[in-house]
A and B are shown apart, each in its own frame.
Chain A
Amino acid sequence: QKEVEQNSGPLSVPEGAIASLNCTYSDRGSQSFFWYRQYSGKSPELIMFIYSNGDKEDGRFTAQLNKASQYVSLLIRDSQPSDSATYLCAVNLSGGGADGLTFGKGTHLIIQP
């Protein structure tokens, strides 16, 4: 049974600070890792994906992957009130897109002005 675990929060971070979101997964065969942002009542939108150990940066977002520890994180620098949302971690076992993704329950992030 593939599992993806996230702290549901809410995680409250002051505006301008770094928000750190964490995710662990149980299946060592997982090859691709995704962070989605979901605003209330909306469908998820992709922020980043990562499949190699280490860091991947895109603007204010940095994804970090440690396959040995089965741990993936998302850092949001200079956090803004518009970053307030639920962040979903997802993993793909095959890496080829054919098997769908397994999602965590999401972390509710609140950026305080």
Chain B
Amino acid sequence: GAVVSQHPSWVICKSGTSVKIECRSLDFQATTMFWYRQFPKQSLMLMATSNEGSKATYEQGVEKDKFLINHASLTLSTLTVTSAHPEDSSFYICSAPLVGLSGELFFGEGSRLTVL
């Protein structure tokens, strides 16, 4: 099946710093990628839709200036958490759809962010 790779798998940073997470589709092109956030024992919450060559679409309540998304190519999307705070600590997961009848999503391995 299609592979989506995410990096880093975990990161610890100090409060106030910025962290970049990369999401790559390894064997297919993805004009759209999705970024989810998951807190412990909670479901996946869609944060934003990353669109190649245009601005990302953010879900209600997600600060676009805090969570910067760049979709630089058909295989790479990045999420930058700016001025991170402890409440931003979470599991961030990217995904890319296999466009077609099923709409199947392939997920990256996830990135666990801990802000001290």
Show the binding face of A for B, using Cβ within 8 Å. 31-32, 34, 36, 41-46, 49, 51, 88, 90, 92, 94-106
Main secondary structure of the interface of A (DSSP, over half): loop
Residues of B within 8 A of A106 (CB): 43
Residues of B within 8 A of A31 (CB): 103
Whether A105 lies near B43 (C-beta < 8 A) is yes
Known: A42-B110, A44-B93. 15 other contacts (CB 8 A): A32-B104, A34-B104, A41-B91, A41-B112, A43-B109, A49-B104, A90-B105, A92-B103, A94-B103, A96-B101, A97-B98, A100-B105, A101-B103, A103-B44, A105-B43
Whether A32 lies near B107 (C-beta < 8 A) is no
Contact partner of B102 (CB less than 8 A), chosen from A43, A97, A100, is A97
Known: A98-B32, A100-B34, A106-B43. A44 touches B99 (CB 8 A): no
